[in-house]
Chains A and B, each alone.
Chain A
Amino acid sequence: MVESLPKDPLITPELIADHGITPDEYERLKGILKREPTYTELGIFSVMWSEHCSYKNSRKQLKNFPTEGLQVLIKAGEENAGVIDVGDGWAVAFKVESHNHPSAVEPFQGAATGVGGILRDIFTMGARPVINMNSLRFGRPNSGQVQQLVDGVVGGIAHYGNCMGIPTIGGDVYYDETYETNCLVNAFSLGIMKIDEIQRGEATGVGNPVFYVGAATGKDGIHGATFASTELTEESEAKRSSVQVGDPFMEKLLLEACLELFQTDHIVGIQDMGAAGLTCSTCETASRGGSGVEIDVALVPQREANMTPYEILLSESQERMLVIVKKGREEAVHKIFEKWDLHVVEIGHVTDDGLMRVKYNGKVVAEIPAREIADDAPLYDPSASKPKYLKAVSAWQLSELPQPGSDMTNILMKLLSEPTIGSKKDIYRRYDHMVRTGTVVLPGSDAAVFWMREADKYLSLAADCNGRYCYLDPVMGSRIAVAESARNIVCSGGRPLALTDCLNFGNPTKPEIFWQFKACVQGLKEGCEAFNTPVTGGNVSFYNENPEGAIDPTPLVVMVGQIDKKEHITTQWFKKEGDAVCLLDGLQDDSLAGIGGSEYLRRIHDLKTGNPPCMDLKKEKALQDALLKAITSGLIRSAHDVSEGGLAVCAAECCFTAPMEVESEAVKLGAKLDFTSVGSRTPRPDALLFGEQQSRVIVSLAPENVTALEEIAKEFGVKCDLLGTVTGEELEITLNQGTLIKAKVDDLKKAWRDAYKNAAGLSE
């Protein structure tokens, strides 16, 4: 018999609405229970059926993603994170997840707990996390508010990752008006394990005890999951008790204890308590195990006196796990957690009645069919309609832009000074990116490269998404997100294997937003198919919106690839005086020559319009295949793909981005480049220099290898233009014998290096 507690509030329509449950959903809930819920049960339903946990608005669309592949060991949606095979009995688990709303309210703790949460998703799979990355989106840095946000978010990520001893080796950062009041904080983690060490989040074996391990439960983040599923308004000020505080030290102990536990065979399942805490982990493990779970929440270690079952179940206190232990092994499990000074308490057991039964000092306060609540959340198919702004966007013509003057060098300087394009060193030097001594390419190249010492394997990782492209054409923009991340992997010498995505959008109940969402899912799907890179998991973050409007759709992609041999590792900067510089071009058919949606158009002409660069995935694949063959044949010394800022910015970056050196001694190499042959297929000089046409890579190589490269290009139907030579201390770019760009590499580097400081007005 389920009982209400004396102090439980009366369930009224207002209370139901406060829990984010619609009248229809309430009827559905009663249908599952076959009675009215208790207050505790109402709380359970509200978090389990929140957008954050149930994906009720997005799930139907996400089913379109390709999720299968020979390399996939655990598919998207099966467990806390997907797992792929990297050969010789080794596997990696990885996932990206958003912590946008918590970071907007409390940047330091919001970002820190974002890192903590994704790490638990990884090590609950049995893997030791060895790589962190993050993808950040902020407003323009000229306001004190944004600067504080950047400082807080970066500080929080550094605090958690550094303390855990997991290197943060890459990611991406954009500064754009669209993120002014809705920053995006997407945290990625990857862990490594032997295939036979994979752990499952399931509760099986009737009578097996259920253990609670880790930190004590407080009132943190109560209703955090529902909080993340609504727009940020003035009222969210009042919901501030939702802020969770992270304790990376506790998590480090929890990590080491869990990894020690995984070396034994004492357990049948384990799941972290993330969003919706104990509630979610209990019913999900029961649902996956096809069983029931009974717990008594009075046994849960508590940080505050007099917590109610409702609070204990909904708390989002960090650094906690639920472990399903084999009967008879209780003592051994106790020993491991006690060694690490962690709470370890038996709070219940596995049953065979399919119910999630919650007791409080013996009294049953909630009893819900586990499978139904975990898997039968309401699913919606929100209506979608094409946004009106797109008409003007696609009508925009290059001829509307005034012909450029002769100040191209100046424009290049301005673009290099854009904080989105400029150096991110001020950020990544605050992250420990060297611990575990596997970071063989330090941050600053197209892709991060990590040597997994244990397995002697090289991984390559890249995070990409240009939200402006996705705003202007969601299908094209999302294709580009996948294509660029794959291209970055190939530039580093690797093969793309699989990806995880974090879909950041506005309010899905608005038809124009949902149209963007559907179109982005379509673009990502096409991208995944083109590169044979399945989606292994990820996360959807809706309601990134304020009263003035939604963010640009930002479907972030983190691609994981593998580099087969150490010799193939390639970086983006020029290596040697006298080397030849070539452009490999997939020849996308782009009527705006990459000017639509470009940084050039946005920052120099203050326009956010035009069709974004065109992405024919077949042409992109041909380019990547040609480049990978050239790299693995040993021809290439550096490879850098053309992205924000176009060919000129790309060429400049090749001259000065070598990060291995001590800053003051870094190698700088100039180049003399003739763009006449590329110019012959580009309508005007500004498009030639700053157009962001896709499927292009600048490579440098020994002059005697140019013929071999040209042959490979021909084989794949890719154009290879010989641009010039690595030489001197200047970057000089000419077109038909006229000089377009001429600048000292030192000056270019200075503009690029101080971009954020200058944009923020912080330079001395």
Chain B
Amino acid sequence: MKAKIYVTLKQSVLDPQGKTVQRALEQMNYKNVDSVRIGRFLEVELNCDDEAKAAAQIEEMSKKLFVNPNIEQFRYELEK
């Protein structure tokens, strides 16, 4: 089973990278960019067939390791 995990900064947390990229885009004349947020993307291959178990494990690993809960949030997708 393969999990795709998207880690992003929480909405209220400043994303300096995103802001800088957004300003750069404006200067490159992309005037309609309202927001850029930059996050991390992880692909995890799990040796596990039970979708519920895999989901629980991904949740747990994300909370423990992938995500800094002070500033980040995550979502994920599971693929067979």
Contact = CB atoms under 8 A, between A and B. Distances in A.
Consider the complex of A and B and state whether they touch directly, i.e. have CB atoms less than 8 Å apart.
yes
Interface in A295-316: 303-304
Nearest to A106: B70
Contacts of B68: 106
Contacts of A397: none
A317 interface: yes
B16 interface: yes
Interface in A329-351: 341
B14 interface: yes
Contact of B14 (A106, A240, A247): A247
A245 B20 contact: no
A667 interface: no
A250 interface: yes
Contact of B70 (A219, A240, A303): A240
A219 B12 contact: yes
A interface, over-half SS: loop
A519 to B, nearest CB: 37
A579 interface: no
A245 B16 contact: yes
Interface in A200-222: 215, 218-220
Contacts of A241: 12
A396 interface: no
A243 B70 contact: yes
A156 to B, nearest CB: 12
Contacts of B14: 215, 218, 220, 244-245, 247, 303, 317-318
Contacts of A245: 9, 13-16, 71
A105 B11 CA distance: 19
A306 to B, nearest CB: 12
Nearest to B24: A341
A109 interface: yes
B66 to A, nearest CB: 15
B23 interface: yes
Contacts of B13: 218, 220, 243, 245
A249 interface: yes
Contact of A249 (B20, B69, B70): B20
Nearest to A219: B12
A105 B12 contact: no
A534 B15 CA distance: 41
Contacts of B23: 341
Interface string B1-45: 000000001011111100110010000000000000000000000
Interface string A228-249: 0000000000001101111101
Nearest to B69: A240
Contacts of A247: 14, 16, 19
A139 to B, nearest CB: 20
Contacts of B15: 245
Contacts of A318: 14
B12 A304 contact: yes
Contacts of B11: 304
A215 B14 CA distance: 10
A240 B72 CA distance: 11
Nearest to A244: B14
A291 B46 CA distance: 66
Contacts of B20: 249
Nearest to A341: B23
Nearest to B10: A241
Nearest to A245: B14
A312 to B, nearest CB: 14
Contacts of A250: 16, 19
A105 B70 contact: yes
A218 B71 contact: no
B71 A243 contact: yes
Nearest to A240: B70
Interface of B: 9, 11-16, 19-20, 23, 68-71
Q: Which 5 A-B pairs have the closest CB atoms?
A: A247-B16, A245-B14, A219-B12, A106-B70, A240-B70
11 contacts: A106-B70, A215-B14, A218-B12, A243-B71, A244-B14, A245-B14, A246-B16, A247-B19, A250-B16, A250-B19, A303-B14
